[in-house]
Structure 1
Amino acid sequence: MFAVDANDDTMTLQLCEMATEIRDKLEVCGLKQSRVLTIEIADGASHPLANCLAYFYCEFDLVRVTNPSTWDALLEEDQAYAGLPANVTLKALLTHEITHALVAQTAGDREVALVDQEYIAASMELEFMEEAWRDVLLGASTVTLPPKVGLIDIWIYAFSPRKFAVNAWQHFNLPENGCAPVQQIVVGDVSFSKAVRPELR
């Protein structure tokens, strides 16, 4: 269910193993793969959003990741990912983008609002990370508990994606939440988009 183009046998195997593990974990939250997903290592940052390290192209079922060998030139020292080993960052990026892919595949013809997509992807990215490395990202954020639904907003994501991600994971991590909001979002029962935000707490 994965087609990997990495131009390197070791990287190809690593990506296949990571992708399979991520896919299996996402099934716990009801996100299921129904089509082949292509994962491609790109030599340059050719993604639509500036210097982002990875991007999911929905229309092609394609996850494109910038070659890790070029990350040093793309990451500034003050960015949270700069404090993580490359393999940890790679798994985090894959988790985020594969989550986007499986949300789209699970939702079928129904379009999931961007803020909801990013809530789920950010939550899964941090949830699947080893605690020690997750603490690095949490420590780099100014977000404090308790999580605020008001910060789960597409404009917060646009201007401060790390603050958005940490707050989203904290909300996901509440005892009363977990996979329940994820499943409700995907089937269209609730949303963090402004029109229906009061339905989620």
Structure 2
Amino acid sequence: MGAAATAVGICIALAIWTGPGRAAPHSCPGDPLISVEAESPDDAAAVCAAVARARPRLDACNLHQAQPLTIRVLPQITHALTACMAQYHCHDDSISVTAPRALPSILAPDSIWRRITPQALFDSLIVHELVHAFLDQAECSGTPCLADHEYIAFALQIDALEPADQAAILDGNGIDDPDNTGRLNGFIARMDPGYFAQAAWLHFSQPDNGCAFVGDLVRGKRTLWVDPY
């Protein structure tokens, strides 16, 4: 969300890339609102393909792009010496995402994202950060609810995976009441983002939830925000 949320926990403020010069940006074929910077042509093509696959689902869930975006594929993204998988930067409408080959080296040994291939994870990260970008473009200066944003981003990230990968991500989740929103709060999103991701998709996939529930969050008709006091 803005410059705060990622798919590998929370990376506050701006991510930093310390490496060689950036590749020249180019627009995705048939999609002038998305520019890609990547050293690898395969990575650039994967970004464009992931965006193209994601657009119909994002549109169905009331998530629409308002401004051009630049997506950068980087070998290393860090903040406060902590590696990040991906990051949306509100200040310049850009997304940074770690290259697929570098993802395994930054995942915790027990991360649920180790259960799928680096390429599948990379593609899903594009979806996750597109959600944050599309939400934040509406009002970059606002203070949106962390739980609302992460719910939508994680739900659609997992929704974009193949069924076998979804099953791997959800294995052992222990959630027997998926329609209960009590666990979908900002504290859990920060402290255990993997569990929050599982809970978000299971709730999203229940009858009468899905894009209808997301639409209510986007329009402010509902919120997962919990008063801490």
TM-score normalised by structure 1 residue count = 0.88
CA distance in 2, matches of 1:48, 1:181: 35
> SS in structure 2 opposite 1:149?
coil
> SS in structure 2 opposite 1:151?
coil
> SS in structure 1 opposite 2:83?
coil
Over residues 55-109 of structure 1, what are the superposed CA-to-partner deviations in whole Å (9 max), with x where a residue is unaligned? 1112211110112222232123321111211211011111111111112235677
Partner of 2:99: 67
> SS in structure 2 opposite 1:56?
strand
Closer, same or farther in 2 for the Cα pair 1:79/1:133, shift >3 Å?
same
Q: Relative to structure 2, which stretch is displaced further, 21-30 or 130-139? A: 21-30
Contact 2:204 2:210 in 1 (8 A): yes
CA distance in 2, matches of 1:24, 1:36: 17
What letter is aligned with 1:67? A
Offset of residue 192 of structure 1: 0.7
Partner of 1:55: 87
Over residues 132-187 of structure 1, what are the superposed CA-to-partner deviations in whole Å (9 max), with x where a residue is unaligned? 10110100534333342110111111111111111111111111211122111112
What letter is aligned with 2:191? F
Partner of 1:126: 158
> SS in structure 1 opposite 2:63?
coil
Higher relative contact order (CA 8 A, sep 6+): 2
Choose which of 145, 148, 164 in structure 1 pairs with 2:180. Answer: 148
Partner of 1:95: 127
Closer, same or farther in 2 for the Cα pair 1:171/1:113, shift >3 Å?
same
Which 5+ residue runs of structure 1 have no aligned equivalent? 196-201
Matched, 1:160 2:192: yes
CA distance in 2, matches of 1:108, 1:162: 26
Partner of 1:28: 60
What letter is aligned with 1:20? A
Q: Relative to structure 2, which stretch is displaced further, 99-108 or 81-90? A: 99-108
Contact 2:43 2:73 in 1 (8 A): no
Partner of 2:216: 184
Which 5+ residue runs of structure 2 have no aligned equivalent? 1-32
> SS in structure 2 opposite 1:144?
coil
Closer, same or farther in 2 for the Cα pair 1:72/1:129, shift >3 Å?
closer
Q: Relative to structure 2, which stretch is displaced further, 159-168 or 68-77? A: 68-77
Partner of 1:173: 205
Q: Relative to structure 2, which stretch is displaced further, 113-122 or 18-27? A: 18-27
Choose which of 159, 162, 167 in structure 2 pairs with 1:135. Answer: 167
CA distance in 1, matches of 2:187, 2:141: 25
What letter is aligned with 2:211? C
Q: Identity percentage over the alignment? A: 28
Larger helix proportion of the pair: 1
Contact 1:41 1:64 in 2 (8 A): yes
Contact 2:111 2:194 in 1 (8 A): no
